[in-house]
């Protein structure tokens, strides 16, 4: 598996990582998927303290406890559960980040996190205090590097200008090309990498995804999704699978270091790995995909 440097850091991540959110809570199956991923060249695992109320971090930590040195481990912080209150509350304070990282370390069974990410962010946060928390954790060796996970251009710009982030995780796929307008050029100029989540658009951008296209997605109607799926399938049938096209599309941008599709089965994982190992899209293939799909624009938080 090809690896790419994450921003200006010393982290080199596999071009396809494993988004761990969809692993589920069945230990044996989730562990099998993680270990298979590592055996097949994936070194980048992404989780969050939010997933399954921390259970996801526990499963990941248990699975990699004897292979920690083989893994670039990423997790996230910012969503706080308050006892007696339903759901999660947003908390990007320094005190909470320093407290939450200890719990993530415990669940992950490790004494350091390779990439610690703010799981959201707003302009109403005390951004300087949030950055200070991450910088302190980095100096103390608790984390190696930090980034943010956000689809808000205004928040991303603030962290690019004011912090030492090495990455931005954001949704990016053939069906969600919004980062191309301003985010990807901004990150490329700053030497910061994009980690593309949702590259398969909830399974729509796969060979068997036509049935999943029978519903709206972002600004696509059901009819538009079905037509786009048919167009992409007709383009790729002779040369590559739609999954290959979908995973290679984000990776064609120089600012993208990795795509992180999820996998809830070994079969899904193996299909994704084969797709990530396929040849990059040609100029003609990229042009065709862009002709078929919508460029997209951010309309909120700009």
Walk me through the domains of the chain, giving residue ranges and CATH numbers.
3-202+244-279 (3.20.20.100)
Query: What is the average per-residue pLDDT within 103-112?
Result: 97
Provide the sign of the torsion angle of the four alpha carbons 8, 13, 16, 21, taken in this order. negative
CA distance 167 to 15: 14
pLDDT confidence of residue 238: 67
Spacing of C-alpha 49 from chain mean position: 15
Lowest mean pLDDT among 48-52, 75-79, 85-89: 85-89
CB atoms near residue 207 (< 10 Å): 17
Q: What is the model's pLDDT at position 82?
A: 75
220 is catalytic: no
- Average pLDDT across the chain, whole number: 95
Residue that wins the pLDDT comparison between 84 and 11:
11
132 half-sphere exposure, CB direction, 13 A CA radius:
9
Dist CA 174 CA 253 (whole Å): 12
DSSP 178-217: GGGTTHHHHHHHHT-EEEEE-TTTTTTTSTT-TGGGSS-B
| Radius of gyration for the alpha carbons in the chain, expressed in angstroms and rounded | 19
Reported as a single tens digit per residue, the pLDDT across 192-242 is 999 999 999 999 999 989 888 878 899 999 999 999 999 999 887 667 899
* pLDDT top residue among 85 and 294: 294
Helix, strand, coil distribution of the chain in percent, nearest 5: 45, 20, 40
Instruction: Please identify which of the residues 51, 159, 217, 249 carries the catalytic annotation.
Output: 51
């Amino acid at each position: 598996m090809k690896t790419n440097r994450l921003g200006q850091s010393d982290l080199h991540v596999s071009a396809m990582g494993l988004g761990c959110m969809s692993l589920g809570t069945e230990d044996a199956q989730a562990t099998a998927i993680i270990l298979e991923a590592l055996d097949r060249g994936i070194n980048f695992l992404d989780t969050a303290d939010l997933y399954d109320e921390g259970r996801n971090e526990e499963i990941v930590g248990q699975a990699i406890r004897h292979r920690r040195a083989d893994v670039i481990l990423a997790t996230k912080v910012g969503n706080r559960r308050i006892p007696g209150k339903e759901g999660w509350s947003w908390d990007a304070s320094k005190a909470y980040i320093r407290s939450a990282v200890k719990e993530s370390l415990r669940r992950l069974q490790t004494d350091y996190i390779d990439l610690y990410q703010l799981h959201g962010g707003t302009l109403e946060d005390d951004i300087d205090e949030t950055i200070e928390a991450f910088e302190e954790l980095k100096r103390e060796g608790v984390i190696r590097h930090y980034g943010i996970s956000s689809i808000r251009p205004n928040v991303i710009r603030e962290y690019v200008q004011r912090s030492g982030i090495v990455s931005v995780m954001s949704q990016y796929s053939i069906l969600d090309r919004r980062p191309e307008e301003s985010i990807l050029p901004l990150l490329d100029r700053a030497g910061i990498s994009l980690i593309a989540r949702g590259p398969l658009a909830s399974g729509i951008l796969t060979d068997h995804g036509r049935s999943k296209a029978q519903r709206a997605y972002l600004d696509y109607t059901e009819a538009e999704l079905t037509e786009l799926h048919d167009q992409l399938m007709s383009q790729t049938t002779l040369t590559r699978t739609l999954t290959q096209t979908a995973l290679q599309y984000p990776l064609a941008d120089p600012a993208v270091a990795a795509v992180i599709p999820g996998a809830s089965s070994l079969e899904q994982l193996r299909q994704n790995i084969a797709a990530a190992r396929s040849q990059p899209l040609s100029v003609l293939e990229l042009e065709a995909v862009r002709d078929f799909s919508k460029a997209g624009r951010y309309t909120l938080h700009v």
